[in-house]
Structure 1
Amino acid sequence: MSHPARTRRFLTVLLAGAGVMHFARPAPFDSIVPPVLPGRARSYTYASGVAELAVAGLLAAPATRRLGGAASVALFVAVFPANVQMAWDSRHASAVQRAIAVGRLPLQGVLVAQGLSVARDGAPASR
């Protein structure tokens, strides 16, 4: 399997799994919705879960791979404030919890780069 295919498959599985978890166990996602956002945190949790599942579907289908890559970049940028909120909220937590929360911040940049790679190189495979 080529590098672009592995990257696309990784993002597809990551986003599908995260999307499902937004519905199966929404409370941890609710807790990182920035409180400055209007409305109920659960609404944002469900909306981001739907977005993650939709983007995973775009990445999985050969005809929409490039769009899926671009959509994943937009999604990773859109959810970054929740990761910042998680890091902020962990400031009084254990060292391990802080390291995980703060460590997620630069990883978001890696995910954006992977999404850009899929958007650039994700042309449908020729048959």
Structure 2
Amino acid sequence: MSEFGNLVHTLSVPLRWGDMDAYGHANNTVYFRFFEEARITWLASLSLGAEGEPTGPVIIKTSATFLKELNHPATVEVRTYAGKAGKTSLETWHTITDEKTGALYAEGYAKIVWFDRKERTSAPLPQTLRDLAAE
């Protein structure tokens, strides 16, 4: 277990030229897209939260700490960690590192609440996620 919780998923993502901004580095929104893609890929690998299912994840809080400029060309590794679980929620953490050098570009956080799509209320966190959570 790391300081963030249990490592549950790793995703390799190339930085596209169009992800750059006028300052010549990746726009801050790109980091959040990387976090999102990692979360969605991870949950899909567990067969959880797909469109059309009665329940799924919603994000109620997210943040990022930008530690180093990310410039094209680059391929990053986005690691996802499962933190503490609540009755209906799970804290998740992410790191973005350079796939070749291991340089740390950013750290991120997202609190997931499991959501009943019909009732529009929170729902119990699936046991699969509870089992992966840090204690």
TM-score (norm 1): 0.29
TM-score norm. by structure 2 comes to 0.28
Which one has the bigger strand percentage? Answer: 2
